[in-house]
Homo-oligomer: A and B are copies of this chain.
Amino acid sequence: MLNRVRSAVAHLVSSGGVSPPRPKSPDLPNATSAPPAALPEALKSPRARAGSESGAPAKTVDTRASFSRPTFLQLSPGGLRRADDQAGRAVQSPPDTGRRLPWSTGYAEVINAGKSRHNEDQACCEVVYVEGRRNVTGAPKEPSRGQGLCFYYWGLFDGHAGGGAAEMAARLLHRHIQEQLKDLVEILQEPSPPPLCLSSTPGASDPSHLVGPQSCWSSQKEVTHESLVVGAIENAFQLMDEQMARERRGHQVEGGCCALVVIYLLGKVYVANAGDSRAIIVRNGEIIPMSREFTPETERQRLQLLGFLKPELLGGEFTHLEFPRRIQPKELGQRMLYRDQNMTGWAYKKIELEDLRFPLVCGEGKKARVMATIGVTRGLGDHNLKVCSSTLPIKPFLSCFPEVQVYDLTQYEHCPDDVLVLGTDGLWDVTSDHEVAATVDRVLSAYEPNDCSRYTALAQALVLGARGTPRDRGWRLPNNKLGSGDDISVFVIPLGGPGSYS
């Protein structure tokens, strides 16, 4: 992510720091919230899994530096060096030969133009089998492979201030989701609504005799299967973030990352986003946004409220009020426009001494920052991120929770030209939704509907269109505007294509 963390004002304290205070998670009764020693094998954290079948990144054997690209790119040592070449910026895709990605998914990526030494984006594409852990009544049971569930999984992770968090998320986040779903395998396959309470003595939890009429307790809420999957994804993000916090010392989990994840399970597509990557569906030419971005601008009121309620998090260095520009000390006593955590409009206030502190949120667009440092407000990692020349942690203001949007794939008969496009901000900074839809139309119409390579060609076209070509001492688009100098990664997921939807 280009300039997402201002190196001029931020530094990383990568050893021995005290974990910043974070909202405590409820004591969830699953294996992943247990201490690291009890982690399931899949959730343990080797830094690279040589020869892994996983779509998550494996470290290269390149000796210049430690970096990795997704294994599904099947890069040779020479290919890895080309992928890491910031002068040539060659677009990378999985090879035509060999195993395709599930659903004939298209993928393409390109390294940045020099903003960081390596490509800090990571990607993962997997089919994950979930074996049930227990039956509905809570009694342990023998594993029975026939009752398991499969989900399809795509993840884009846009790293900042180091590649470690993105690498770890690409390697492990789907495993956390798998762990969370283990308890739900039977419940999700039952046609009846999920049980509200898992009791070992059936019938014991009927509360009807306890609730009187006319009370706010008089009814039970009906909880849907869909909302259980959403809850599983939300908790998986939190547990991934907690694992990063635990392992940051031993394994040097550097930096943080945005995470955009898609899961297909039992007929529904779940798009979970924490950060400023974006997903849209292009369906019959129509654009359906499938995510919202989380930035200091879109989350201003959440950030200000936290600073207002917990002023100790501002360390006497910041004010939770927003001002439209920097205040000069000599303006003390004059009247300046401001907004607080309750306001969407602006009003004038008399400038007081504490208003001269740096504002918690400032700047606009790509220059918007929290604590003058970070330009994105949700994601994984960043446990060591501090304000420049200060020990003040920024993590308490960052949320690891995604917003999950659900799309029912069975409610519409999709054609092979209907796609879900995921991109890191390198794509969206220079490409509008309508330009993406036009490229979808242009590229897919040049291929036969049953040609599985069309989605990779589309992903490549989108990446190339955002990168541009080298001209006039920079990467430029056909309209001569600057192309994106950021890492760019794109998945194109066909919704009615030649893939198999189990």
Contact = CB atoms under 8 A, between A and B. Distances in A.
A23 to B, nearest CB: 7
A238 B343 CA distance: 11
A231 B180 contact: no
A369 B215 CA distance: 9
Interface in A326-353: 326-328, 330-331, 334-352
A97 B178 CA distance: 72
Interface string A210-247: 11001111111111001111111111001000000000
A347 B309 contact: no
Interface in A298-350: 305-306, 308-310, 321, 323-328, 330-331, 334-350
B342 A210 contact: no
A425 to B, nearest CB: 17
B197 A331 contact: yes
A10 to B, nearest CB: 12
A234 B215 CA distance: 34
A314 to B, nearest CB: 14
Contact of A217 (B207, B221, B325, B340): B325
A359 to B, nearest CB: 9
A344 B404 contact: yes
Contact of A348 (B183, B205, B211, B362): B183
B364 A219 contact: yes
Nearest to A233: B345
A227 B326 contact: no
A160 to B, nearest CB: 15
A26 B338 contact: yes
B207 A325 contact: yes
A458 interface: no
A204 interface: yes
Copies assembled: 2
Contacts of A284: none
B234 A343 contact: yes
Nearest to A302: B305
B227 A346 contact: yes
Contacts of A334: 138, 197-200, 205
A310 B403 CA distance: 24
Given A306-B309, A326-B211, A345 B229 contact: yes
A231 B346 contact: yes
Contacts of A399: 342
Contacts of A29: 335, 348-350
A345 B230 contact: yes
A27 interface: yes
Interface in A443-491: none
A340 to B, nearest CB: 6
A364 B326 contact: no
Contacts of A330: 204
Given A197-B334, A197-B335, A326 B363 contact: no
A196 interface: yes
Interface string A360-396: 0011100111001000000000000000000000000
A330 to B, nearest CB: 7
A28 interface: yes
Q: Closest 5 A-B residue pairs measured CB to CB?
A: A230-B345, A216-B363, A231-B345, A221-B324, A231-B347
Given A205-B331, A308-B23, A232 B363 contact: no
A294 interface: no
A194 interface: yes
Contacts of A338: 26
Nearest to A206: B328
A401 interface: yes
A321 B28 CA distance: 13
Given A207-B328, A216-B368, A216-B372, A228 B310 contact: no
Contacts of A306: 309
Nearest to A210: B326
A309 B302 CA distance: 13
B401 A216 contact: no
A214 B308 CA distance: 28
Contacts of A347: 28, 180, 228, 231-232, 234-235
